[in-house]
Amino acid sequence: MLKTFASAAALIFLGTPALAETWHVMGATPAELLMMETDSRIIHPNGNVSVWTSSVKIGEQDEPVVKALWQVSCGGEPTIRPEMVVWFDGDLRSKESWVATKKDGYQPVVPGSRGELTYQFACGKKAWPIAVQGSFGHVAGAYANALSKLVTAASTGTGAEAR
C-alpha cells in the first residue's frame, strides 16, 4: 500500500507546475496525506482565519486529490465552515467544485477529526512538524520520496523499524 501511495504522489509531483506556495503536512497515513497551504492564509477582522487544505488519497481512482478552503473560528468555541471544495483527478484537472452559501454555517469542531487538525494548525494551537516550500506537487513528491525510503528500508531490513 505504501508503494501505491508513493507512486500516486510521484505522479502528482511530475504533473504539477511549480508555484510559490508553502504547504505543511498536518498528518498522514499510508492511505492519505493531509496538508495546509499557509501563504494565502487570511486573518479576518473578527479573528477568523481562512486557509486552504488538501488531501491526497490512495485507492481513490476518480478523485484522489481534494482541495478545500475553510474559515475557522479561532476565538471561543472551536468551529469551522467550508467555503469551497474542489475535487481533482489524478492529473490534477479540476473535476467538480462546490461553493458555500450563507446557509452553510459554522459547525462545531469534532475532536480527532480533520476539522480539529485544520483548527489547531490554522489557529496556531499546534506547531508544524513539516513545512516544504514549493508547489502542492513538490510537497506530495517530497512525501512520496520519504515514503519510498521507508518502504525500501522496511523491505530490505536496514533497521528503519528499529528507529
The pLDDT score that the predictor gives to residue 53 is 92
Q: Is residue 46 within 8 Å of residue 61, measured between CB atoms? A: no
The pLDDT score that the predictor gives to residue 149 is 63
| Segment 42-99, tens digit of pLDDT | 999 999 999 999 888 877 777 778 899 999 999 888 999 999 999 888 777 788 888 9
Enumerate residues 6+ apart whose C-beta is below 8 A from 107: 79, 80, 81, 115
Q: Does the global pTM surpass 0.75?
A: no
Domain ranges for the chain? 23-134
C-alpha torsion sign, points 58, 10, 160, 154: positive
Q: Where are the beta strands (DSSP E) in the chain?
A: 22-29, 32-43, 49-57, 65-73, 79-88, 94-99, 107-108, 130-133
